[in-house]
Structure 1
Amino acid sequence: MVVASSASSFAKEVSIRRRIMSIFNKREEDFPSLREYNDYLEEVEDMTCNLIEGIDVSAIEAKIAKYELENAEQIMNARARKAEELAAAMAASKGPSQVQDETEVDTEQIGMSTTTQGQYAPAVTGGSLMQPRPMGPQPQPLGIDMNLDEEKMMRLRAENNGRCGGWNPEFIKKRALEEAFGSLWI
């Protein structure tokens, strides 16, 4: 029962925070000074914590409603700005090679793709986006001969995993030599 209680309290906190953030969505550039912005953030966090804890809920809800009425235009402008930034970020993440015109969409609706060979582009089928499966032989891991015995394979995998983390077998040899010669007295 403790897990269910903490999960529901977490869900409650998340929903309250989302609601408050959608209303109190001003940014630092909306304020003349950093001090005023920090005061705004502190006030919003105080209201959020009080709502989560159930402290003076009616007064806070009245304050939120008043703020929402007084700043409705600013709230809508901030939401629109956020949506534009999200759309721009998504367009930038697609890259120029995946920007398609109307003729390409028509061919993709029947399952054909008109992009450059080797690129993955979503195919539109039935109104939903689907990622095509790669065709042909699957790539094999580099540097690993699949015909090795189990012990050599394990050693090679351990070395490759170590290299991925920045480990180099030469470091061990160098350190061992430095420690050996560092302990000699001349």
Structure 2
Amino acid sequence: MVVSSSNPHGRELAIRKRIASIFNKREEDFPSLREYNDYLEEVEDMTFNLIEGIDVPAIEAKIAQYQEENAEQIMINRARKAEELAAAMAASKGHPAQTDNDVAPSQSSQAGVSGQGQYAPTVPGGQPRPTGMAPQPVPLGVGFDMHGYAADDEEMMKVRAERGRRAGGWSVEFSRKRAFEEAFSSIWIC
């Protein structure tokens, strides 16, 4: 699948995002750091070649073969990433992340829910999720926008925007003072 876009940076980002969602192994998945670095180098070479349009059919075939052979591992890693995101979201909102060990046995067997905002990677009975063309894992109990951040109500968005401006040193008074200084510095008196 070749992504075409008038924006070359957007095209590169789309390709990198797609490749990262497929080739999502971590360092702990490899017996040595050397093997992990070789894996990262191979993934980056494929990404670069896709971006530059070099030998695209061969790379797409290699990606399809990798997806077929590693479908279960890809889904497990996506689920793990979703769980980490949910835990980080819970921590950022001041809620301690609840794990499967913290849930009562009667609760953990109900629909695989492991806590508010967390993705449940198993079905009742502890069996792994089915693999194949299943949809990507989605955290439960938390709404996310298209960038993966928690969707907030309008009031919270205003509060965050104001905090961001203050954290960046922006203020109405500062802007007004700068505008006056720039305006008056351009006046020449002869």
TM-score (norm 2): 0.49
Change (3 A) 1:131 1:40: same
Deviation at 1:129, TM superposition (A): 2.2
Q: Which runs of 5+ in 1 are unaligned?
A: 1-5, 98-127, 135-149, 151-186
Letter in 1 for 2:29: D
2 CA distance for matches of 1:93 and 1:78? 22
Q: Which residue of 2 aligns with 1:81?
A: 80
Q: Which has the higher contact order (CA 8 A, sep 6+)?
A: 2
TM-score (norm 1): 0.50
2 CA distance for matches of 1:91 and 1:14? 28
Q: How many residues align?
A: 102
Looking at secondary structure, tell me which structure has more helix per residue: 1
2 CA distance for matches of 1:8 and 1:67? 28
Change (3 A) 1:95 1:23: same
Q: Pairwise mapping of residues 89-104 of structure 1 onto structure 2 (< 5 A)?
A: 89-96=88-95
Aligned to 1:95, the other structure's residue is in SS state coil
Deviation at 1:131, TM superposition (A): 2.0
RMSD over aligned CA atoms reads: 2.7
Q: Pairwise mapping of residues 148-159 of structure 1 onto structure 2 (< 5 A)?
A: none
Q: Following TM superposition, where does structure 1 have runs of at least 4 consecutive aligned residues deviating by more than 3 angstroms?
A: none
Q: Pairwise mapping of residues 1-186 of structure 1 onto structure 2 (< 5 A)?
A: 8-96=7-95, 129-131=153-155
Percent identity, aligned pairs only, is: 73
Letter in 1 for 2:54: I
Query: What whole-Å deviation, never above 9, does each CA across 1:70-95 have from its counterpart, x for those lacking one?
Result: 00000000000000000000000111
Deviation at 1:8, TM superposition (A): 1.1
2 CA distance for matches of 1:40 and 1:61? 17
Q: Which runs of 5+ in 2 are unaligned?
A: 97-151, 160-176, 178-190
2 CA distance for matches of 1:94 and 1:85? 14
Of the two, which has the highest radius of gyration? 1
2 CA distance for matches of 1:29 and 1:68? 20
